[in-house]
Structure 1
């Protein structure tokens, strides 16, 4: 349903390094490398998959994390959920909820990137 999701970035280079490291855990790569000059970077499994992008705000104002906004990353297995969570914490993110079963087979971990954007890594472990 979604083509891509975009979040704001103040330090494009530092946040790009965070997401390069995080997405490497699930074999996701940059599909639009962008640059500081262009002001954006996009990652996805391939050019036809849903993308995740960071961008400097067009209006030149500082990027801020949205209250109530969250991007969810499909990890596939509890082991990959844990790997993403730990990689996020190792590379400057902070915990918003340790990996675990949230009910009905929904296994998830919650964290924020270095700029405060909330993310979730998840997988389904059983059919509800």
Structure 2
């Protein structure tokens, strides 16, 4: 059976597609086959741009955000996750997340200022209490 590679926390992973098996395995770039815990022989299917996808995800500072799924991957569909993204899509998504985080931080600073408080950017301590 064919097992599609996806990326979870920056690791290349495959799931055994047999309905009676729930095994997942970490694979290494270029690996062509793997045997799951139940003994099923799996043919590893790599995206043609795996190195570029991995490089785009490696730019993200937090490992927990280094995830990618091929188009229509069952795990992505079940979890409502993006799938089939190109390296450029992944970079755009990271920029959008960063901009949203900066916006939230600015809103928090404005809220604190309205209360006569200030957040020290180095220590994270609220001043003016």
TM-score exceeds 0.5: no
TM-score when normalising by structure 2: 0.26
More strand by share: 1
Q: Greater helix percent: which structure?
A: 2
- Over alpha carbons, which structure has the higher Rg? 2
* TM-score normalized with structure 1 length: 0.27
Looking at both structures, which has the greater relative contact order when contacts are Cα pairs under 8 Å and sequence separation is at least 6? 1
